[in-house]
Chains A and B, each alone.
Chain A
Amino acid sequence: MLVLGIETSCDETAVGIVEDQLHLRANVIASQVDLHARYGGVVPEVAARAHLEQLLPTIDTALVQAGVHLSDIDAIAVTAGPGLVGALLVGVSAAKGLALAHDRPLIGVNHLRAHVEVAQLEHGMLEPPLVALVVSGGHTSIVAMGEDGTFRQLGATIDDAAGEAFDKIARFMGLGYPGGPEIDRLARDGDPHAFAFPRAMRDSGNYDLSLSGLKTAVIRELRRMDAAGEEPVLADVAASFQEAIVDVQVEKVLRAASDEGYEQVLLAGGVAANSRLRERFAVACGSNGQRLIVPSVGLCTDNGAMVAASGANLLVAGRHADLDLAVDPNLPLAG
């Protein structure tokens, strides 16, 4: 059973092909990072235009990579949300065209759920219950995946998403875009304890997080040093900022897992590619006796394989979409 997955929710035009839910046959990404870099963020109209130009060639490349023809594909899966509405519509429209052309089922996929389920390609079918941290440029939430596979939101950022904070601080520091990988790289040579940046809502008693105060504190510190004529060691700033973000997430996620009595923790989404986040979770889960499930870096950032994997699960569950499938820019993970 072959499922082709199309992902166009943000700034990657991506297509993946998965066989029998578990086997990755193709994973092709046409990145638009260079197009958006000069704006320091994703520009929706630029993204939508680029998706339209890149999608057909990306589908072609994926079919070649898998060594199959479109007529061999059993179902077409596509991200229906959340994401940028104009960008989502390009992928969903193309998916409908493919489904119509070969009379195959269309499957609407939740992008956030797909970030979680992509782990099955490397670790086998997930065996919930587990607690997942879904963390990306547009999203930072802690969710419980129950035994029946349903998601329940435990907490979320009340302001900036982690990836957004990385981008904004990187931009302020004059680093490249996207900010996450730049800060990750710079932080490797820095002292994570050089600056005591705030860990907001650490003792809030719930699983919500707040990152905008941290962002403001970093900017204020850089401005203060500038005014005082001090030369900031950017590696130290990056490392300390990153450590603060990682600290809060490790703490809240592990507390959630132990409160729920779950023994597995899963990291998902683009920010889960952050090396410090992965390292700290590995240590923390190890000492807590929890199993940590993390996709490889290439499957954390947006890709088509995750859509194909999640779509394959829905196909097996008999959950097809109709041809009038609407995009939902605010599609929630829970439910």
Chain B
Amino acid sequence: MLVLGIETSTARSSVALVEDDHILASAALGVPRRHGEFLAPAIRFCLDQAGVGIDRVAGVTVGVGPGLYTGLRVGIATAQAIAAARQLPTVGLCGLDVLAFSARYTERRICAALDARRGEVFWAFYRPSPGGVQRLDDPRVGSVDDLAAEIDAHGHEVLVVGDAVLRYAERLSETDAQLAGPDLAWPDAADLAELALPRFHREETHPPEALRPMYLRQADAKIGWETRGRLQGGAA
């Protein structure tokens, strides 16, 4: 079964075509705020390089956050459109789950933590389980001090993964946790597809219109014309 994976919820965007346990093609871009320009050409690139037509794709999986809202929506809108047009099942996965899954070969508890901007972090805790990891509670958003306090109160040895480690290295190094490096900073589309595959096989899928971003925060209620400024485009 050929699965298309799309992960654009962080500063690093990635795409992968995965057939069973085999990565046929992948592409990634580490330049922030370029999700919209990168994603569709990257999918085209992966299909072309793998020498497969889009009609071979049997499922679409996408990272649904938490993460950066604009990137999230780029990924989900693209995934939804492809899946709806090709009548394919979809699986939406939490990027924190994907990160923790990437770090599964550890004896420690895992804390996946992504930079949420505005001085905040998205995070969740995991424990290793056979063949993967198990999330211990719902993802949440808070200050880095809140996160540090939770790590210290966790009662187990913790490995912290995700780009929050890069952003808040100093504060998090004051905790007892082990901090992962940049190779475990962003959820990757190939890991996402690998994690999603069993769900496609078990038919634990959703129709594309059911995919929803995990925002974890209320919409910022700033009015358009004030942020946009006069004459800066806009619409009727």
Contact = CB atoms under 8 A, between A and B. Distances in A.
A176 interface: no
B132 interface: no
Interface stretch (A53-61, A184-192, A258-266): A53-61
A255 interface: no
A128 interface: no
A93 B213 CA distance: 15
A39 B219 CA distance: 12
Interface in B155-174: none
A97 B79 CA distance: 7
Contacts of A269: 236
A90 B221 CA distance: 19
A138 B44 contact: no
Contacts of B234: 9-10, 82-84, 136-139, 161
Nearest to A91: B77
Interface in B68-125: 69-70, 73-82, 84-86
A53 B38 CA distance: 23
Contacts of B78: 93-94, 96-97
A98 B74 CA distance: 13
Contact of B39 (A41, A93, A111, A302): A93
Interface stretch (B18-26, B182-190, B196-204, B224-232): B224-232
Among A96, A301, A324, A326, the one with the most B-chain Cβ atoms within 10 Å of its Cβ is A96
Nearest to B60: A97
B72 to A, nearest CB: 9
Contact of B37 (A11, A161, A300, A326): A326
Interface in A279-335: 300-302, 322-331
Interface stretch (A17-25, A100-108, A198-206, A245-253): A100-108
B41 A324 contact: yes
Given A93-B77, A136-B234, A98 B36 contact: no
B195 interface: no
Given A39-B223, A89-B36, A95-B81, A101 B235 contact: no
Contact of A138 (B36, B37, B225): B225
A86 interface: yes
A220 interface: no
A236 interface: no
A224 interface: no
A56 B84 contact: yes
Interface residue tally on A, bucketed by range: 35 or more
Contact of A94 (B81, B222, B224, B235): B81
Among B41, B54, B233, the one with the most A-chain Cβ atoms within 10 Å of its Cβ is B233
Contact of A301 (B74, B220, B236): B236
Interface in A152-178: 156-157, 159-161, 163-164
B58 interface: no
A70 interface: yes
A101 B56 CA distance: 11
Interface stretch (A42-50, A119-127, A142-150, A226-234): A42-50
A217 interface: no
Given A56-B80, A70-B85, A322 B236 contact: no
A221 B135 CA distance: 61
A101 B69 contact: no
B209 interface: yes
Contacts of B219: 43, 45-46, 49
A49 B218 CA distance: 11
The 4 nearest A-B residue pairs measured at CB = A138-B234, A270-B236, A82-B233, A97-B81
Interface of B: 36-41, 43-44, 54, 69-70, 73-82, 84-86, 208-209, 212-213, 215, 219-228, 230-236
18 contacts: A45-B219, A49-B219, A82-B232, A84-B228, A84-B234, A89-B70, A89-B77, A92-B36, A93-B73, A95-B81, A97-B40, A102-B85, A136-B235, A138-B235, A139-B235, A164-B230, A323-B40, A324-B41
Given A82-B235, A96-B40, A97-B79, 18 more contacts: A40-B223, A44-B222, A44-B228, A48-B70, A49-B213, A49-B219, A84-B224, A86-B69, A101-B81, A101-B85, A138-B232, A161-B230, A163-B236, A271-B236, A324-B41, A325-B37, A326-B36, A329-B233
